């Protein structure tokens, strides 16, 4: 197993730090918990009524969005322009602490991203 892991690491040319965690032998009640876990895998029932807190979902969604943002801004030429404006994916939007109306926020965003039609209006 260890050799397969090493081969995978070398194949993808990534840097990893591997920590060896010793066995749980001798830890009180650990053998009991391990046995119960093995029994649950083979004999257990599927828990269809499990509740996942919305906070867990939001955290995972935020992490996914950050990864997507970083992937897109690092791999596409068009996104480099936007990355110059907003380098990192923020935890909260810039307008969360303001009392601006939605109309004002939209207009500021249009100006920031170059989508305002200011040149059209200047020459009309």
Query: Is residue 75 in a domain?
Result: yes
- Global pTM reads 0.41
> In this structure, is residue 67 part of a structural domain?
yes
Q: How confident is the model at residue 51 (pLDDT cuts 50, 70, 90)?
A: confident
Is 23 among the domain residues? no
Q: How many domains does the chain have?
A: 1
Domain holding 115, by residue range, is 54-122
Q: What is the pLDDT of residues 55-113, one digit of tens each?
A: 777 888 888 888 888 888 888 877 777 777 777 777 788 888 889 999 999 988 888 87
Q: Closest by alpha carbon to 91, among 66, 108, 55? A: 66
Q: How far apart are CA 92 and CA 66, in angstroms?
A: 12
Question: Measured between alpha carbons, how far is 120 from 124 in angstroms, rounded to an integer?
Answer: 6
Question: Is residue 108 domain-resident?
Answer: yes
């Amino acid at each position: 197993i260890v050799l397969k892991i090493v081969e995978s690491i070398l194949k993808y040319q990534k840097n990893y730090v591997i920590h060896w965690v010793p066995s749980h032998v001798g830890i009180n009640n650990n053998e009991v918990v391990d046995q119960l876990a093995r029994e649950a895998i083979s004999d257990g029932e599927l828990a269809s009524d499990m509740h996942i807190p919305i906070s867990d979902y939001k955290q995972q969604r935020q992490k996914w969005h950050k990864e997507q943002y970083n992937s897109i801004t690092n791999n596409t030429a068009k996104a480099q322009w936007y990355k110059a404006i907003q380098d990192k994916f923020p935890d909260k939007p810039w307008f969360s602490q303001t009392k601006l109306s939605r109309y004002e926020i939209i207009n500021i965003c249009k100006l920031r991203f170059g989508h305002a039609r200011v040149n059209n209006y200047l020459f009309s």
